[in-house]
Amino acid sequence: MTAPNTIYQELISHIRKAAMLGSCGAVLGWDRETYMPKGGNEHRANQLSLLAGVAHEWSTLPRIGELLEQLDDSELRDAEDSDTAANIREIRRTYERSRKLPQRLVEEISRVTTLAQHHWAVARSGSDFNAFAPWLKQIIALKREEAATVGYADGGEPYDALLDEYEPGANSADVATVFAALREELVPLLDAVKGASRQPDVSILSRSFPITRQADFGRTAAAAIGFDFDKGRLDITTHPFCSGFGPGDCRLTTRYDEHFFSSAFFGTLHESGHGMYEQGLPADAFGTPLGSAVSLGIHESQSRMWENLVGRSRAFWNHFYPKAQTLFPEALGTTSPDDFHFAINAVTPSFIRVEADEVTYNLHIMLRFDLERDLISGRLQTADVPEAWNSRFTSDFGITPRNDAEGCLQDVHWSAGLLGYFPTYALGNMYAAQFFEAAEEHIGDLQTQLANGDFQPLLRWLREHIHHHGQRFTASRLVEVVTGKPLSDQPLTRQLNDRFRPLYGV
């Protein structure tokens, strides 16, 4: 009889091969968004479709199922949180999901979404939803087929099957419940700051900020908080993202606007948070669940923490503001740190999600979550998306998008087939606040450390308590292990009220 350790090593070998192929596809995806000439899009779609199909074939080999069966009663699973037990558990979960999907569907989703992203970019630049609508219709049909093929729990809905891809174990009903609780706290806070007599001078952020200096400043800040540029790089794209290809190679992207400081700087901090999570995963576990992020919600907790809880804090700018004034003397030379800090924390309903303030950001996510559920269920047709979007936006924010580019065409996610992804952003905000409270309790005087430019204690704490675990715990269990409590909207609402009410004097 073959020893369990031998069976386990064969299983890991198969999984790593599929992961390596996926990493190759990620490089091609990154290149498509950064340096690939426009004329290469159709060929790139065929390349990525082929790689997706082969990776799916490798990751669903019958031999993997046989190896998992042989390990079912093995002592390697006895300790629930051991390396071997966690890997076996998560490999089985992914294998069971993947093997339900026909290779034809996997390849077609990859091909269509690669082509669609090009057409989305063109439609967005022309603010023409009708130009993208046929592609969205195809994608919705493919994602409905995926949901039906994968399946979902009794009493659930098709969207659950898509959400589970990004936030394993989550379902629409539970997410809707926690979003409703968060919304009850956000609306009164938003009403209070909108009616406050004290308001920030946001024109500070639209002065002239030369792009070359923005790039230098963003890179300096990213390196200071802990992103390792010997194992990563920063490039320009239309829609910022982070790609971790594996040990020693993590790519960040951002976009610059000479007359809007926040876009590139906070976008760079955001993607750096993702990047530091990727760089903090155990290198020797690459290709296995223990070398992979828990969920996109947990991933987002890292980016939102560094972008907002650190990057928009007064302590952070105690350290960085003199550097900003030196780099941008014309824009900031006579502006006080308090005025600048108030400006970067301005709460103003706005159209673009990635530029939204922290109070309104989650309302952007709730809108997308509800529309996605309606699209997948068939309650909303693709042709009606602009009207549905604008109506809901007007109701929630009190302003109406002037065109499709600042409305339903602003995000890349639908063109990439990432339905089910958006809720992880708001979940990430809640995870981030809960983790940050725990970090402050364990580390000590965290705010003084940030003001002194010492970001390593926080990064070390995150590496120890979150990054190095990989998928040892599910997202919900990780929150309890790290904080001692289940996920709650309360840490986030406390953090928002504690920061914004004093700023606005309400």
Q: What is the pLDDT of residues 82-97, one digit of tens each?
A: 999 999 999 999 999 9
Left (φ > 0), alpha (ψ -120 to 50) or beta: where does 65 sit? Answer: alpha
Residue 199 to residue 2: CA distance in whole angstroms: 71
Residues 463-481 pLDDT 10s: 999 999 999 999 999 999 9
Catalytic one of 271, 307, 358, 372:
271
pLDDT confidence of residue 354: 85
Would you say 90 and 102 are in contact if contact means Cβ atoms under 8 Å apart? no
Residue 58 to residue 435: CA distance in whole angstroms: 36
Would you say 32 and 44 are in contact if contact means Cβ atoms under 8 Å apart? yes
pLDDT confidence of residue 369: 98
Task: Give the burial class of 24: count Cβ atoms within 10 A of its Cβ; 0-12 exposed, 13-18 middle, 19 or more buried.
Answer: middle
Structure tokens at 292: 């992979």
The neighbouring-strand residues paired with 243 are 251
pLDDT confidence of residue 239: 80
Would you say 313 and 495 are in contact if contact means Cβ atoms under 8 Å apart? no
pLDDT at 10 over 80: yes
pLDDT confidence of residue 403: 97
Rounded to 5°, the CA angle 135-141-145 comes to 145
Q: Which pLDDT band, with edges at 50, 70 and 90, does 107 fall under?
A: very high
pLDDT confidence of residue 355: 84
Q: Which residues contact 468 (CB under 8 A, 6 or more apart)?
A: 280, 281, 282
Q: Which pLDDT band, with edges at 50, 70 and 90, does 118 fall under?
A: very high
Query: Which string of DSSP letters, residue by residue, matches 170-216?
Result: --HHHHHHHHHHHHHHHHHHHHHHHT-S----GGGGGS---HHHHHH
pLDDT confidence of residue 4: 94
Would you say 312 and 429 are in contact if contact means Cβ atoms under 8 Å apart? no
Task: Identify the CATH class of 172-504.
Answer: mainly alpha
Q: Which residues contact 199 (CB under 8 A, 6 or more apart)?
A: 346, 504
pLDDT confidence of residue 1: 74
> How many other β-carbons are positioned within 10 Å of the β-carbon of residue 243?
22
Residue 129 to residue 404: CA distance in whole angstroms: 6
pLDDT at 137 over 80: yes
- Tell me how far apart the terminal alpha carbons of the chain are, to the nearest angstrom: 71
Q: Which pLDDT band, with edges at 50, 70 and 90, does 456 fall under?
A: very high
- The single-letter code of the amino acid at 354 is V
80 flagged as catalytic: no
Residues 197-211 have a mean pLDDT of 97
- The single-letter code of the amino acid at 452 is N
Average pLDDT, the chain: 96
Residue 126 to residue 94: CA distance in whole angstroms: 39
Find the length of the chain: 506
State how far the alpha carbon of 51 is from the alpha carbons of 39, 55, 120, 341, 449, in Å: 20, 6, 23, 46, 46
Residues 238-279 pLDDT 10s: 889 999 999 999 999 999 999 999 999 999 999 999 999 999
Q: What are the structural domain ranges in the chain?
A: 4-154, 172-504
Angle, helix 423-443 to helix 456-465, in steps of 10 degrees: 110
> How many other β-carbons are positioned within 10 Å of the β-carbon of residue 302?
26
Say whether pTM exceeds 0.95: no
Structure tokens at 59: 């990751």
